[in-house]
């Protein structure tokens, strides 16, 4: 089943894979982002319209722009802004038991 624009969840094998290239990323109960190719950069990597946080806040809250790609085909799965120490957000967690049932 499709669980996101670029992600499938295989109901037999209980894995998550890339819809573009079929690459299997991880088990269905894991955070796929931990198994994606993650690029980390400054906030300004989000586009020409972004300003360095320090310029706006007068201090640096250590924010970063994280992008998650398919490690095989490189398609952009998702992004998040986070402080350096923030864990990778587990934003999609399908209940594996409900699928098996």
Contacting another protein within 4-33 (CB under 8 A): 4-6, 9, 26, 33
Contact at 8 Å (CB) between 81 and 43?
yes
> What gap in Å lies between CA 27 and CA 16, rounded to an integer?
6
Q: Could you say whether residue 89 binds another protein (CB under 8 A)? A: yes
Q: To the nearest whole angstrom, how small is the minimum distance from the Cβ of residue 77 to another protein?
A: 6
> What gap in Å lies between CA 91 and CA 75, rounded to an integer?
18
| Number of residues lying near another protein (CB under 8 A) | 57
Residues in the site for Zn ion, rule: CB under 5 A? 18, 20-21, 23, 70, 72-73
């Amino acid at each position: 089943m499709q669980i996101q624009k670029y992600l499938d969840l295989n109901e037999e094998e209980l894995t998550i894979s890339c819809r573009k290239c079929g690459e299997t990323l991880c088990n269905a109960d894991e955070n796929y982002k931990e198994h994606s190719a993650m690029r980390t950069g400054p906030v300004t990597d989000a586009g020409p319209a972004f300003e360095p946080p320090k310029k706006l806040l007068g201090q640096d809250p250590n924010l970063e722009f994280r992008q998650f790609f398919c490690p095989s085909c490189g398609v952009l799965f998702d992004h998040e802004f986070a402080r350096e120490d923030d864990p990778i957000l587990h934003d999609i967690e399908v209940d594996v038991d409900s699928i098996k049932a």
